[in-house]
């Protein structure tokens, strides 16, 4: 029904996933994974699964971002490869 919106969201999903894989700074990767989770939540909401989308938005875009940033502060910023 909303296939145009879903197409745009899938394109942004691929872009954020690629940036999160290829970024040199791990902080950029963490933020991009947060954006990835938020776009996934929007996709779930578009598909009609509001509860799953709400859980994904709260856990994936909220707590996981905080924990990833704390883990990066504890270790290092740079990737090895």
Partner 1 sequence: MTNKSSSPIVLYGTRFLSPYIMLFGFYVIFHGHYSPGGGFQGGTLLAVSLLLIRIASGTDLAQLQFKEYLTTPLAALGVVIYFGTGLTALIMGGYFLDYEELPIPGLEPAYLRYWGILIIELGIGLTVMTVLTLIYDNMVKGEDYA
Partner 2 sequence: MIIAFTLVLLFAASDLPFRGDPDNQMNQEVSMTGTEVAGNYYIQEAYHDAHTPNIVTVILGDYRSVDTLGEQIVIFTAGLITFLLLRNRKEGEEDDE
Kindly list the residues in this chain that would bind partner 1 in the complex (CB under 8 A). Answer: 50-51, 54-55, 58-59, 62-63, 66-67, 70-71, 73-74
Sole residue written with tokens 């933020």: 31
51 binds partner 2 (CB under 8 A): yes
Q: How far is the CB of 51 from partner 2 (least distance, A)?
A: 5
Tokens of 51: 């509860």
Alpha helices of 23-80 — where are they, by DSSP H?
Answer: 26-46, 50-55, 64-74
Which CB, 55 or 79, lies closer to partner 1? 55
Of 19 and 57, CB closest to partner 1: 57
Tell which residue, 58, 67, 8, has the closest CA to residue 38: 58
């Amino acid at each position: 029904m909303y296939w145009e919106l879903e197409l745009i969201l899938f394109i942004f999903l691929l872009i954020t996933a690629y940036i999160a894989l290829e970024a040199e700074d791990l902080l950029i990767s963490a933020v991009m994974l947060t954006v990835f989770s938020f776009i996934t939540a929007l996709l779930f909401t578009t598909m009609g699964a509001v509860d799953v989308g709400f859980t994904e938005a709260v856990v994936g875009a909220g707590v996981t971002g905080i924990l990833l940033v704390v883990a990066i502060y504890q270790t290092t910023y740079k990737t090895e490869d």
